A and B are shown apart, each in its own frame.
Chain A
Amino acid sequence: MNSSWITISWSAVAACCLTVGLTYALIWFRRPGWIAHLAFAIAAVSAAAVATGELALMHAQTPQEFGTVMRWIHVPIFTLVVASVAFVRLYLGGGSLWLAGGACALRLAALVLNFHLEPNLNFSEITALEQVPLFGGETVAIAVGTVRPATRIGELSSLLFLLFVAHATFQFWRRADREEKRDGLLVGASFALFVIIAAGHAALLHAGLVRTPYMISAPFVLVVLAMACKLSSDMARSMRMSEQLKAREAELQLNRQRIESAAAAAQSAIWEWDIASNQVWITEQGRELFGFPHDEVITLPRFQATLHPDDRARIREAVAQSLIDGQTFEREFRIVPAPGRMRWVATRGMVDIDGDGKPLRMRGLSIDVTERKRNQESIGMLAAIVKSSTEAIIGQDLNGIVSSWNAGAETIFGFAADEMIGHPVSRLIPPDLQPEEKELLRRVLRGERVEHYETTRSRKDGTLFAVSVSLSPILSSGGRIIAASEIVRDISERKLADAALRESESRFRAMADSAPVMIWMTGRDKLFTFFNQAWLDFTGRQIEREIGDGWFEGIHRDDLTACLETFGRAFDGRCQFTMEYRLRRADGAYRWVLDTGAPRLSPDGTFLGYIGSCLDITGRRRSAELLQQERAYLRQVIDVDPNLIFAKDRSGRFTLANQAVADVYGTTVDNIVGKTDAELNPNAAEVERFRHVDLQVMDTLKEQFIAEETITTAAGKVLWLQTVKRPIVDEQGVAIQVLGSATDITQRKRAEFELAAQRNELAHLARVAMLGELSGSLAHELNQPLMAILANAQAAQRFLARQDVNLDEVREILQDIVNDDKRAGEVISGLRLLLRKGEMMRQPLDVNLVVSDVLRLMRSDLLNSNVIANIELMAGLPPGQADRVQLQQVLINLVANACEAMSAVDHPARQMIVRTSLTIDGEICVSVSDMGPGISAQDLNRLFDPFFTTKQHGLGLGLAVCRTIIDGQGGRLWATNNTTCGASFHFTLPVAAMEAA
């Protein structure tokens, strides 16, 4: 290659553009946010492409080739312009958008036109290529042809681009600071230069003023160089900045360490609260103080959680206030670093605010002030004690000058604090006692304490009064005596009281000695100090032998222990006591005495001992003994009584109960008295009933007789009682107690129950026998429905076997089967009821219904006997109270008897009437009348006797059992002869009690 400097130059240009462009692209790739870098990269790569195109133009061989290459070169030119505009706009951050848009739009228009026109935008035709020789012997191709006017569009675009760059640079210049200005100018100027050279040269070329190849890429090298230059300066700057940053950080770390160690030395915690992240940074010292673990990340809520609950609201408010007004936060508050621990913390915090005045963070310092707080508190407390003390507490220095003077001192001495502080304490001391006071002070200064020294002081008004003085040294923290404190108590009143006491004691002795009762006194030590003359006269002993515990010798041997015990217990408890014991009289006889003692107290409440008096009660005691004997006798009498005898007060407590009651409740008489039934009887219903009657008796003042009631014994057995309760009335006529006597009637009740059971058994047996007799007709009653069921079922089977099953018919059959089955079931259940062996159960029932049921059951019997039953039931009959089964039994018996009575009668006359009615007494009456031969006069009397029968095969029990049954239901059963013919049997039943609605 001998002629290639052109090739080398343009290639170099392209390479240069490519290199810098790719560098920028790489940077953009790392930082995608930096779009300006991308724009420049595109522009530089486009310029490289343009350079390549220009080289191809210069080496074009034919006009066609030239036209085609030129046409395609517009593409990189377009991207170059657009990318450059974008870069300038992004980098300089300004420039008219109109100019930028215009340049780009015109360039786009040029590009579009270029591809619509032959051969390209610039030439309407290229006639030939002229080879222009250059220096160095090289030739390049230049087009010869007609330049199209549309070429001006591209030129206009370039002009707008130039104006845009200028405008942007100008704006940037005005805005930027000094260092930036340089960079901006470099960029702006390089672009402007590039446009002027490239576009200007192209314009000259088109105008035919110069004859050279196109040179657009070459001036872009200027831009590339400027940008490369900028890149290197950017790099240098960023390196510098990172170094500075490192240094700053190191410094910061150092500072923090310094602060930490300073804080640690000051026993304080330094913290910083970042408001945005709500996180708190705190020194190690602080973590220790607040109880945070070493590595825990502290948030504000965590921080707040350590606050004492009582302080939380207060502190939150104060912090909020500081954040609002930016003032320094300064508070003392309590924290709970660990459960059960509490510390006082003094905290000072300052708010950092950003440019808008918004709080950024709070920084501050917390110091543990717990010790100080405690000291303050205890000092405060001591001060309060001193202040409120009624005693005079006086501080004086080594020279006897008063340094403190409390309220008590003001009251006692009459001097106000300002009258005394700074003055010598000797003002308070009578002149004759001054040496004594000096001596006391000297003793104190030697380190001694003077306690309760009784002396005299003078008040402000000059009066002297008795005082008790205590003096003690006050030591400095170094242990040196620096002052003395003097506590003065006014004891003048006590002195007076002592004198009065002495006087009253001698008066007391004189009085006691002349009193007709025996009087004794003890000291605080249980020892007897005094016995009056009456006592000494009684025992006939000297006082010297009695005092101490000498008098115990006079107590009867049998009573001594109880006596000492009572006295000792009362004495220790400081309470009054009364005891009775036998005491030897001077003549040697033992007399019962009632001894009453009470503690002796001084006016101010101090215990002085006991004082007591004794009375000879021997006579009284005799009668009480008799009474006791009588009581014991009566007691025995009521305990022997097998009846339960008791009395209860209004609250239901037993005031009296005999052995029988105790036996029932399975306890002792003593244990019952004072208790209620509820405490003794597990059956709540019974207790409630007893209580109800008791109160009724007391409220109405009327005696009550309870014919039958139950009581549950401790063993859970139920006893039947018949009880009388009577009110016991006090003087005002008010019933205060109820007296009761109850007889155990359990045996009788048991016999009654057994009788009832036997009666039931008999009734059942009679029922079974009766039903045996009826079995033939009952079987008929049962077989009727069974026949119908069988026939229906078999008919249905036949229907179903047919080809054309009539389901309606089968359905009808099934319904009939169901009905008949129910009918059979009713018959069976009726029978089962009658055959059942059960206890009598009286309940309200419809007697008419029972009559109808019985006649239905006996239908076949009536048919077989050819008897027609006429039923006359009274409408609206009230329900009767009876046992259904037994009632049925009676009815069946009577109906069967009626049928049998008529068996001899001619067929059409066999009529029976069953009638229900209400008697004038309001009882239900049922009558069964027949038209048989009637009952003969002698039979009428024996009719209901057991084993009396007129039948051949009868047992003779039917009517007897019927009467027993009706009696048991509370009704009557009797027989009469009818006026015309036949007999009637009647029975009554009580009407069921209406439920109170």
Chain B
Amino acid sequence: MNSGAQTVFIVDDDASILKAISRLLGADGIPVATFDSARSFLAAYHGAARGCVLLDVTMPGLNGIELQDALNARNCALPVIFLTGNGDIPTTVQAMKHGAIDFLTKPVDGVTLLATVRQAFAQEAAGRAQNAELALLKARLESLTPREREVLGHVIAGRLNKQIADTLGTTEKTVKVHRARVMEKMQAASIAELVRLAGRAGVVPAA
């Protein structure tokens, strides 16, 4: 499985559909990979894959919805687009709840399909950028000492140095040093930015 360019992974048990959609997307220069069953896709799937998944609902063995669940279980970041010959409401609701980007009914117009694929690509790219920033913040957060971490929690809670020193049972001066260290390690220029970054990294303000 290519992990370079964004690719549409098409899973459908109907060979002629696989061929036709591959052609349609390929004509617009979109890379495509086809799989004739859910199992063969799962076997080939790895976390580095980029792009989106185009899933048929009705398939022998594992059906589309079950495949979506399996991918979710693996923390798959690929957006899922469903393509079905017969979209009943319960199935649609379930699929959307489980994070599908769209639920298209066959026969779907090429323009719609391409637009949906492009939307999925954009979403996947955005998600990926967000994840990278978060990882950076987490790394910075990791570099803090436990004491600095404690101080950070109180700082973003909006406490003054004196209050923090009281709470921690230390001097105001020590707190000031810790605070400066935190600001440096987190690469925050101001308290406001520190608060935002901490929020992004999931740091909960101290009680």
Contacts and interface: CB of A to CB of B under 8 A. Distances in A.
Interface of A: 776-777, 779-792, 794-795, 798-799, 813, 816, 819-820, 823, 860, 863-864, 866, 868
A782 B107 CA distance: 10
Interface in B1-30: 14, 16-17, 19-21, 23-24, 26-28
A863 B86 contact: no
23 contacts: A776-B88, A779-B85, A779-B86, A780-B106, A782-B85, A784-B14, A786-B106, A786-B107, A787-B20, A790-B20, A791-B107, A794-B24, A794-B109, A795-B23, A798-B27, A816-B16, A816-B19, A819-B16, A820-B16, A823-B16, A863-B59, A863-B60, A868-B60
Sort A-B residue pairs by CB-CB distance and give the 3 closest, nearest first: A780-B85, A794-B110, A791-B20
Contacts of B157: none
B63 interface: yes
A864 B61 CA distance: 10
Contacts of A780: 58, 84-86, 106
Contacts, number: 90
Interface string B19-51: 111011011100000000000000000000000
Nearest to A775: B86
Contact of A863 (B16, B26, B58): B58
Contact of B107 (A783, A799, A864): A783
B109 A863 contact: no
Given A791-B21, A816-B16, A864-B58, 5 more contacts: A783-B106, A783-B107, A787-B107, A789-B107, A791-B107
B110 A790 contact: yes
B88 A795 contact: no
B108 interface: yes
A791 B86 contact: no
A236 to B, nearest CB: 124
Contacts of B108: 787, 790
A795 B85 contact: no
A860 B20 contact: no
Nearest to B21: A791
Interface of B: 14, 16-17, 19-21, 23-24, 26-28, 58-60, 63, 83-86, 88, 105-110, 113
Given A779-B86, A794-B24, A860 B58 contact: yes
B58 A787 contact: no
B24 A791 contact: yes
Chain A CB within 10 Å, residue with most, of B20, B83, B88: B20
A668 B132 CA distance: 110
A795 B27 contact: yes
B86 A783 contact: yes
B27 A788 contact: no
Nearest to A823: B16
Contacts of A785: 16
Contacts of A784: 14, 16-17, 85, 106
Judged by DSSP, the binding face of A is helix
A860 B85 CA distance: 10
Contacts of B19: 788, 792, 816
A271 B23 CA distance: 109
A790 B85 contact: no
B20 A788 contact: yes
Contacts of B20: 787-792, 795, 816, 820
B110 to A, nearest CB: 4
A795 B16 contact: no
Contacts of A781: 85
A788 B14 contact: yes
Contacts of A813: 23
A819 B16 CA distance: 9
A515 B13 CA distance: 120
Nearest to A867: B60
Contacts of A864: 58
A787 B110 CA distance: 10
B139 to A, nearest CB: 44
B27 A799 contact: yes
B156 to A, nearest CB: 50
A785 B16 CA distance: 8
Contacts of A795: 20, 23-24, 26-27, 110
A777 B87 CA distance: 10
Contacts of B21: 787, 791
A794 to B, nearest CB: 4
Nearest to A908: B61
